[in-house]
Chain A
Amino acid sequence: MTDAAADPPPEAVRPASASGAGRRADRPLPGGRTDTWRHPLTVRITHWINVVAVVVLLMSGLNILAAHPHLYWGLSSTFADPWLSTPTVPNWLLIPQGRNLAEARKWHFLFAWIFVANGLVYLIWALVSGRLRRRLAPSGRDLRGFWPAVREHARFHFPTDDRARTYNVIQKLTYLAMVLAVLPMMLITGLSMSPGFNAIGGVLLEIMGGRQSARTLHFISAGLIVGFIVVHVGLVIWTGFFNNMRAMITGWFTIQPPGSTAGPKLRRRPPADGAGS
């Protein structure tokens, strides 16, 4: 899909290659910075719909969990011996506000439809357009650079120059895991809790190890999503909140001059300064 409405003047547009539909040329900015085209319209729209859907699903899901805040493994509940009992969740985290199983279920299922429809649009588009392969699939070189990337991340060191044009290997693997494993897992485990769906999806129920295992896996997957959101939003802020938000709203992302990084630059001092250390 191309974004005709936001097209820059024709001379700025590179001829679209077969795999690069919607690709735009860089726009030079003052001070050695460059605007680069990062998020096509489909990504931006599905991203924000997904934000709304996932937040409503998490908050209504917490309300549903509150009706029986105990988790078990296996076919049925072992009431005297739950695997995990979750603490009471404050009201402001619940949809609707205050415990209400009937209403929470309606919110949950309505936004589950939106989540699934939106997710399918994204996945099909990402596969067909080749974006999944181009931007998210890690190359062999990416994978060999995994441990150095981990070390860079551990030092809260993130390049904001040309190296930020493509996702780093940890980003690629995390995004892939989210869109191909964790988010689909929510749907599969959710459906496996449905006695109606069990009548046709009995095999799936067996793979999960029973309805109570499916429910616990649903909760664990939701926990992984919360963990992702915390790290994701944290890094969005750390690596340039306005630039990142602008990219996910307008599509354009600003590349800083060579050598720029987000994060502490203390350890970048040349050794000559630090004699004796």
Chain B
Amino acid sequence: MNRRRWLTGALATAMASVVSACGEASWRLSEQARRMGEGLTRRAQRLLIPRDALAPTYSRAEISPDFRANGSIDPAASDYRALKADGFAGYRLVLDGLVERPLSLSLAELRTRPAQTQITKHDCVEGWTSIGEWTGVRLETLLDEAGLKPEARYIVFHCFDALDQREDGERYYESIDLIDARHPQTILAWDMNGETLPVPHGAPLRLRVERQLGYKHAKYIRRIEAVESFAHIGRGKGGYWEDRGYEWYAGI
């Protein structure tokens, strides 16, 4: 019933926006229609794609020799530079927020956790694809270790990089829901193609959330926070690019 209302609502609003082609009012209408379209797309994907359906995986021979590094490729923030200068020996991943036992783990400690390796494709919102091999720990393992509180609904990734490379610039962040956080292919990767994760690809730790577009795969992760809502973070849309108009659920 609710879904039918959504569909008719989206169609009605869309048609209304087409009929009145110009003017401020119709622009606002069409904006609403596009938002409804986005909601419809997200719901359809959640409905059609089983929680644990796996992203396709590839063979070693299919790995891209020219995997593109996009967005930040060498963060300028001083805290990041200091850690990098030291080979990330002083790095600690913080996992806190709505958890019973907040974690603070060095890379060496992270590497003692059970690791998994997967060769997957990375689909950029711009349209290109690169294939890479990723090794890391399942996010679910760390979430269970910390013990999510029942009110936790989203996992937020706070990153070191600011795209404008300014010290006080807006730092990158991303968020996913618990379905994707607990997905068997969602990992925090420290190795790429069998080697330590290089700086352009997010050293020392990046997210792989294989059923979504590239901008969801947060690089240079500083802190992971379990939250009930991300309305108070950044501009409230759940991520750096989401705050700039991109879809929060980036499955297409």
Interfacial residues, chain A to chain B (CB-CB below 8 A): 52, 64-65, 67-68, 70, 72, 75-80, 100-103, 105-107, 109-111, 113-114, 117, 191, 193-200, 202, 205, 210-212, 215
Q: Which residue of A lies closest to B41 (CB)?
A: A109
Give every chain B residue within 8 A of A113 (Cβ-Cβ).
10-11, 14, 37, 40-41
- Are A102 and B246 touching (Cβ within 8 A)? yes
Q: How distant is the Cα of A215 from the Cα of B241 in the complex, in angstroms?
A: 23
Binary contact readout B20-39 vs A (1 if CB under 8 angstroms, 0 otherwise): 00000000000001111110
Known: A77-B129, A196-B251, A211-B123. A114 touches B55 (CB 8 A): no
Give every chain A residue within 8 A of B50 (Cβ-Cβ).
200
- Are A197 and B54 touching (Cβ within 8 A)? no
Minimum CB–CB distance for A105 against chain B, Å: 7
B141: CB under 8 A from chain A? no
Give every chain B residue within 8 A of A210 (Cβ-Cβ).
129
Q: Which residue of A lies closest to B183 (CB)?
A: A199
B123 contact from A100, A110, A193, Cβ within 8 A: A193
Q: Which residue of A lies closest to B53 (CB)?
A: A199
Give every chain B residue within 8 A of A107 (Cβ-Cβ).
34
- Are B68 and A77 touching (Cβ within 8 A)? yes
B126 contact from A68, A76, A78, Cβ within 8 A: A68
- Are A79 and B66 touching (Cβ within 8 A)? yes
> How many B residues, CB 8 Å from partner?
47
Q: How distant is the Cα of A76 from the Cα of B66 in the complex, in angstroms?
A: 10
Q: Which residue of A lies closest to B212 (CB)?
A: A195
CB pairs A–B below 8 angstroms (12 shown): A52-B18, A68-B128, A80-B66, A105-B125, A106-B37, A110-B10, A113-B40, A114-B11, A194-B251, A199-B49, A199-B53, A200-B49
Known: A114-B14, A200-B50. A76 touches B41 (CB 8 A): no
Give every chain B residue within 8 A of A76 (Cβ-Cβ).
62, 64, 121, 129-131
Q: Which residue of A lies closest to B209 (CB)?
A: A195
Known: A68-B124, A109-B38, A198-B56. A103 touches B66 (CB 8 A): no
- Are A197 and B45 touching (Cβ within 8 A)? yes
Give every chain A residue within 8 A of B7 (Cβ-Cβ).
117
Q: How distant is the Cα of A241 from the Cα of B11 in the complex, in angstroms?
A: 30
- Are B56 and A79 touching (Cβ within 8 A)? no
